[in-house]
């Protein structure tokens, strides 16, 4: 069976809405396939002048192609994809405990990724004109940096857990 991949690009508006920009079937996620895809976007008008950030899933071919087509746009690894990759190497019953230290997700209706970034900036400045409004709107215990290592470690110490080596997902090593 021939494996096919779907390369896709989404845009996030200033209001936080996600929009499909383009997609294409490919035989691989190689640098050449991604570069052709990105050059097509560029040729259709996505020059990058108004791009604030490119978030990716960590694909090496995509990263190399981005350096060729959009070399001056800031790039960032998608946190959700990174956490999923980490979770793939942890036993399912240990995932919740291990991933508890990841930054809290955005609260509902805060305006998507850009709104959440703005919210975090506001919360760092008690003199900001919107600070009090946000503090009353957010749950009382909201803390984007909350990470209770004692709670995580006590949850893990009750178990013997394993980590799978990426090249040997079927065989697990005891840790």
The whole-angstrom separation of Cα 58 and Cα 13 is 22
* Helix 60-69 × helix 31-43 angle, to 10°: 40
pLDDT attached to residue 81: 72
pLDDT attached to residue 175: 45
Task: Dig out the tokens for 32 from the structure.
Answer: 């050449």
The whole-angstrom separation of Cα 97 and Cα 93 is 8
pLDDT attached to residue 105: 61
Task: Assess contact for 45 and 73: CB atoms under 8 A.
Answer: no
C-alpha dihedral over 160, 166, 168, 172, to 10 degrees? Answer: 0
Alpha helices for 15-109 (secondary structure H): 31-43, 60-69, 79-87, 92-98
C-alpha dihedral over 133, 139, 144, 145, to 10 degrees? Answer: 120
pLDDT attached to residue 101: 61
Number of residues assigned to the chain: 175
pLDDT attached to residue 39: 95
The per-residue pLDDT string of the chain (175 residues; one tens digit each, 9 = 90 and over) reads 677 889 999 888 777 788 899 999 999 899 999 999 999 999 999 998 888 888 888 788 999 999 999 999 888 777 677 777 777 887 887 777 677 666 556 666 676 666 778 888 888 899 999 999 888 888 887 777 766 656 656 655 544 444 444 444 444 444 4
């Amino acid at each position: 069976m021939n494996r096919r991949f779907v390369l896709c690009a989404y845009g996030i508006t200033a209001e936080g809405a996600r929009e499909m920009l383009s997609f294409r079937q490919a035989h691989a996620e190689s640098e050449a396939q991604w570069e052709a895809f990105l050059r097509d976007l560029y040729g259709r008008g996505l020059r990058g002048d108004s791009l604030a950030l490119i978030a990716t899933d960590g694909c090496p071919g995509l990263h190399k192609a981005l350096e060729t087509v959009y070399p001056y746009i800031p790039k960032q690894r998608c946190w959700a994809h990174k956490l999923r990759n980490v979770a793939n190497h942890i036993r399912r019953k240990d995932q919740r405990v291990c991933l508890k230290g990841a930054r809290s997700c955005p609260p509902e209706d805060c305006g998507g990724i850009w709104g959440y970034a703005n919210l975090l900036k506001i919360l760092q400045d008690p003199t900001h004109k919107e600070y009090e409004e946000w503090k009353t709107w957010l749950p009382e215990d909201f803390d984007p940096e909350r990470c209770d290592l004692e709670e995580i470690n006590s949850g893990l110490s009750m178990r013997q857990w394993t980590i799978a080596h990426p090249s040997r997902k079927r065989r697990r090593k005891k840790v």
